[in-house]
């Protein structure tokens, strides 16, 4: 079965966490909103079409007759179905728990540039963004990275502790990638405190299973999504 | 086995979604941070103690040797283990997906009064809160409630579509309860558009399995948690 992944075209966004799992797992999928002749309207119409389990927002994955929404929920399914998560229930719940913690940080990263409204321009909430970004840089980035550093426990470990990567390692890689893009000064200042997190980032970057994807041009550059490069929101 | 639930004492907060499932499921648990002689420090020390799978934040549930964090993850476990979710994988993923959508709205509801920083006083972010709350009232509440109304599809339905409630029905009940507390004027204005959502709220309120809990005094009143009653943040 080839999965249909639906996500906004043009940005990595939350869709990228799903893409990385599909790509690293060698799982066939089509990215429907990036096919020729489709645009944002195609996606919105598909999302609002009658179906048993409608998604609230992209990304969503169509797996035969089943539609799955919510990034962490899609990954929970792919992890179990395609061996991208531990076999045990305890291991799968642990990976899901970590994924949800990553999702929380992703939402906070988004709100640094849109603290008032996702539907208003950044330029109309710049002052609030400056305040929120400062708190994110100074309090929230260390709090989350301290946690992942502690969970990893060593520079050669995967988050779930086994000998193979799981989908949440790919997600932490992408989260760190996004933080490096959006907050390069801040990340430069604190990087030395997180050797385990940065070692994981390096190992996922070098993962053989992802090299074809990285070389393909399918991995979209950061831009107008969750992680944005507004210089005034970054500081050492 | 009696579960240990750890959550901040004194507020319903995110812990309430777990409590409702435990209570309605008739599942034995101890609320550790509400036992005599414990305080916030007890909780923080326990949370930071060495364990295989440390939680990032409360609530977390200790189930024998296993510790589970993240509200939706705890509920995923309880739902499967205690029959509070559908038996099928598809059904369980659907309930998890809806729970994550509720979690998204809960996070947004929290940010109406703390749009800049959870660690700063409301009084120091009142202007930003007023802006964010307006967007939440006018755009976000309708967007989320439209979705749940559509998913329900009728005034006598449960979210997962079966003949019995699942844990996500309890969560939607509590979400609506919180919105009614925090935004009474706004909810009064729009209630008539959401007959299915409000019918579900009524049915959970009357659920036989929850009456002992409601009468016990264990269900904490709203106050300083996710849902707060700041009159200036509400409007019709």
| Per-position pLDDT tens, chain A of length 236 | 899 999 999 999 999 999 999 999 999 999 999 999 998 999 999 999 989 999 999 999 999 999 999 999 999 999 999 999 999 999 999 999 999 999 999 999 999 999 999 999 999 999 999 999 999 999 999 999 999 999 999 999 999 999 999 999 999 999 999 999 999 999 999 999 999 999 999 999 999 999 999 999 899 999 889 999 999 999 99
Q: For A135, name the nearest residue in chain B, comparing CA atoms only.
A: B117
ipTM above 0.90, yes or no: yes
Least Cα separation, residue B59 to chain A (angstroms): 12
Cβ of residue B119 closer than 8 Å to a chain A Cβ: yes
Least Cα separation, residue A69 to chain B (angstroms): 6
User: Cα(B52)–Cα(A141) distance, rounded to whole angstroms?
Assistant: 23
Q: For A159, name the nearest residue in chain B, comparing CA atoms only.
A: B53
- Quick check: A132 and B147 CB within 8 A? no
User: Is the model's pLDDT at B19 over the cut of 90?
Assistant: yes
Cβ of residue B69 closer than 8 Å to a chain A Cβ: yes
- Chain B residues in contact with A72 by the CB 8 A cut-off are 72, 100
Task: Yes or no: say if B28 and B218 are a contact pair by the CB < 8 Å rule.
Answer: no
CA distances from B104 to A121, A232, B14, B89 (A): 21, 28, 12, 22
Q: Mark out the alpha helices in B87-166 (DSSP H runs).
A: 89-113, 126-135, 141-152
Cβ of residue B63 closer than 8 Å to a chain A Cβ: no
Alpha-carbon dihedral of residues B151, B101, B212, B58, nearest 10 degrees? Answer: 170
Which of A69, A70, A147 has the CB atom closest to B56's CB atom? A147
SS3 B60: strand
Residue pLDDT, tens place only, A160-191: 999 999 999 999 999 999 999 999 999 999 99
Least Cα separation, residue B216 to chain A (angstroms): 31
- CB hemisphere CA count around B104 (13 angstroms): 22
Give pLDDT, residue A39. 86
Q: For A54, name the nearest residue in chain B, comparing CA atoms only.
A: B151
User: Cα(A41)–Cα(A39) distance, rounded to whole angstroms?
Assistant: 5
User: Cα(A56)–Cα(A125) distance, rounded to whole angstroms?
Assistant: 25
Output the pTM of the full model. 0.98
DSSP assignment letter at A136:
I
- Chain A residues in contact with B150 by the CB 8 A cut-off are 54
- Quick check: B96 and A73 CB within 8 A? yes
Q: For B132, name the nearest residue in chain A, comparing CA atoms only.
A: A116
Task: Yes or no: say if A132 and B115 are a contact pair by the CB < 8 Å rule.
Answer: yes
- Chain B residues in contact with A97 by the CB 8 A cut-off are 53, 55, 68-70, 73
Give pLDDT, residue B1. 86
- Quick check: A56 and B93 CB within 8 A? no
Task: Yes or no: say if B30 and B4 are a contact pair by the CB < 8 Å rule.
Answer: yes
Backbone angles phi, psi at B6, to 5 degrees: -115, 125
Buried/exposed code over A170-184 (b: 16+ C-beta within 10 A; e: otherwise): bbbbbbbbbbbbbbe
Buried/exposed code over B53-75 (b: 16+ C-beta within 10 A; e: otherwise): bbbbbbbbbbbeeebbbbbbbbb
């Amino acid at each position: 079965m080839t999965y249909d992944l639906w996500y906004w075209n043009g940005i990595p966004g939350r869709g990228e966490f799903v893409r990385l799992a599909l790509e690293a797992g060698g799982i066939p999928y089509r990215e429907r909103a990036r096919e020729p002749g489709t645009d944002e309207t195609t996606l919105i119409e598909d999302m609002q079409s009658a179906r048993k389990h409608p998604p609230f927002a992209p990304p969503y994955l169509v797996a035969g007759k089943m539609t799955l929404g919510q990034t962490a929920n899609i990954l929970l399914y792919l992890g179990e179905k395609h061996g991208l998560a531990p076999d045990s229930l305890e291991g799968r719940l642990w990976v899901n728990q970590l994924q949800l913690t990553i999702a929380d940080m992703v939402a906070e990263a988004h709100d640094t540039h849109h603290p008032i409204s996702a539907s208003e321009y950044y330029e109309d909430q710049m002052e609030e963004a400056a305040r929120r970004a400062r708190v994110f840089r100074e309090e929230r980035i260390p709090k989350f990275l301290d946690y992942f550093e502690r969970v990893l426990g060593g520079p050669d470990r995967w988050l779930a502790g086994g000998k193979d990567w799981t989908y949440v390692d790919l997600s932490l890689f992408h989260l760190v990638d996004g933080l490096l893009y959006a907050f390069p000064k801040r990340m430069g200042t604190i990087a030395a405190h997180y050797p385990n997190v940065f070692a994981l980032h390096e190992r996922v970057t070098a993962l053989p299973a992802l090299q074809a994807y990285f070389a393909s041009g399918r991995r979209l550059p950061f831009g107008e999504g969750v992680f944005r490069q507004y210089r005034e929101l970054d500081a050492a």
